């Protein structure tokens, strides 16, 4: 436990230079991109004097090193800057949009992890038999189609034709959302015992999360199947069977536990890719998350939100990797933290 705590603290300290480098890279790219963000924010009718005042108000008339220093200093004080276009605080926008993307990504990775692990286990246990073929064909069928096309088909079938689920938005317009505690509607509704709000939140979340999960589902299924097949050929499995242990105990306590270490690595990578790649799903389902916010900010050359979103993604990726490394020790006690 002491080693894990020391390892965790050391990895957290390494986040500081990582985020500084990430902010410097994003800041540099934002400043060399062609275009005039001040002109877009001021509007086509703005005079040069108005543009200059706006540039001074946002500190864009200062030397680039000073601009970067002021930006980093503001980050340590909780000031993430203001949007050139909306004049809103970037920190407040991130507090609004980030929970939506996090909830969508968590639901998608949950679908992919559970379904992918189950399908991978069954495919390995029934190798080259009908369940194996059906699982691989089914997974490849869904992952072969473009994500935006699947999203529109699911909207058409389950939203418009069958009317099982809403076709967009994060919550019902006519129903007040639950009291904000974490920003995750499904969790907040359970924390305040509002089961009607929970049902509404799940109904809006289910289809976008399912569509987003298909890409990760294929990878998790394949890696679980491959590692299960490798683990089933180990000598300890033959020994346990020779000792007369129940087959379900061998599979789920020993084989799956060893095979899941590699699967956990894939789940971690897929979580990052899902969060960064949720923009298509968020756009089609009008989901108010970071992906939609990033696209709108990019089209307007609004640098402050783009930099804030990049830093948030960097922090999430790094923290997920840290907790994954700690989870390895729970699955395999032989892993040491140095």
Neighbour-count burial of 326, counting CB atoms closer than 10 A to its CB (0-12 exposed, 13-18 middle, 19+ buried): middle
Is the Cβ–Cβ distance between 209 and 223 less than 8 Å? no
Neighbour-count burial of 49, counting CB atoms closer than 10 A to its CB (0-12 exposed, 13-18 middle, 19+ buried): exposed
At residue 336, the pLDDT reads 56
Q: Which residues contact 317 (CB under 8 A, 6 or more apart)?
A: 272
pLDDT digits (tens, 9 = 90+) for 164-214: 888 888 888 877 888 888 888 899 899 888 888 899 999 999 999 999 988
Of 21, 46, 76, the one marking the end of a domain is: 76
Residues 271 and 135 in one domain: yes
pLDDT of 301 above 90:
no
Residues 59 and 125 in one domain: no
- The better pLDDT of the pair 329, 237 is held by 237
Residues 70 and 174 in one domain: no
Residues 148 and 295 in one domain: yes
Residues 99 and 223 in one domain: yes
pLDDT digits (tens, 9 = 90+) for 201-242: 999 999 999 999 888 888 888 888 888 888 777 777 777 777
Residues 126 and 174 in one domain: yes
Residue 323 lies in a domain: no
Residue 305 lies in a domain: no
* 151: containing domain: 95-299
Residues 6 and 136 in one domain: no
Residues 14 and 123 in one domain: no
* CA 338 – CA 8 distance, rounded (Å): 10
Of 42, 76, 110, the one marking the end of a domain is: 76
Residue 234 lies in a domain: yes
Residues 161 and 192 in one domain: yes
Residues 162 and 50 in one domain: no
pLDDT of 328 above 80:
no
Residue 229 lies in a domain: yes
Q: Which residues contact 200 (CB under 8 A, 6 or more apart)?
A: 171, 172, 175
pLDDT of 1 above 60:
no
Domains held by the chain: number: 2
What is the CB neighbour count within 10 angstroms for residue 327? 16
Confidence label for 106 from pLDDT (cuts 50, 70 and 90): very high
Residues 58 and 102 in one domain: no
Averaged pLDDT for residues 84-103: 86
Residue 159 lies in a domain: yes
Residues 131 and 230 in one domain: yes
Q: How far is CA 243 from CA 228, 233, 236, 250, 263, in A?
A: 21, 16, 10, 11, 28
The closest alpha carbon to 115, from 99, 135, 140, 132, belongs to 135
Kindly report whether the global pTM for this prediction surpasses the value 0.75.
yes
Question: How would DSSP label each residue in 29-44?
Answer: HHHHSSS-HHHHHH-T
Domain with 170 in it: what CATH number? 1.10.3720.10
């Amino acid at each position: 436990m002491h080693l894990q705590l020391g390892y965790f603290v050391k990895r957290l300290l390494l986040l500081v230079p990582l985020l500084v480098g990430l902010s410097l890279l994003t800041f540099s790219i934002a400043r060399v991109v062609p275009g005039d963000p001040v002109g877009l924010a001021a509007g086509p009718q703005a005079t040069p004097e108005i543009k200059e005042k706006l540039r001074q108000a946002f500190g864009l008339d200062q030397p680039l090193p000073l601009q970067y220093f002021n930006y980093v200093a503001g980050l340590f004080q909780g000031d993430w800057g203001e949007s050139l276009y909306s004049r809103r605080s970037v920190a407040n926008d991130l507090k609004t949009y980030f929970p939506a993307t996090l909830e969508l990504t968590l639901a998608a990775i949950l679908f992919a992890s559970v379904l992918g692990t189950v399908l991978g286990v069954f495919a390995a246990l029934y190798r080259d038999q009908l369940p194996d073929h059906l699982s691989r064909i089914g997974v490849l069928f869904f992952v072969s189609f473009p994500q935006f096309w699947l999203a529109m088909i699911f909207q058409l079938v389950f939203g418009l034709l069958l009317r099982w689920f809403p076709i967009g938005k994060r919550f019902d317009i006519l129903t007040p959302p639950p009291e904000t505690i974490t920003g995750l509607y499904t969790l907040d509704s359970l924390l305040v015992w509002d089961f009607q709000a929970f049902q509404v939140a799940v109904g809006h979340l289910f289809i976008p999360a399912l569509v987003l999960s298909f890409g990760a589902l294929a990878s998790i299924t394949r890696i679980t199947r491959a590692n299960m097949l490798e683990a089933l050929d180990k000598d300890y499995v033959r020994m346990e069977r020779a000792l007369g242990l129940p087959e379900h105990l061998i599979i789920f306590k020993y084989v799956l536990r060893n095979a899941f270490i590699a699967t956990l690595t894939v789940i971690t990578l897929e979580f990052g890719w899902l969060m960064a790649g949720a923009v298509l799903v968020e756009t089609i389902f009008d989901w108010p998350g970071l992906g939609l916010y990033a696209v709108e900010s990019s089209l307007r050359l609004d640098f402050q939100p783009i930099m804030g979103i990049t830093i948030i993604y960097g922090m999430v990726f790094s923290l997920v990797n840290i907790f994954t490394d700690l989870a390895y020790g729970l699955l395999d006690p032989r892993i040491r933290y140095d």
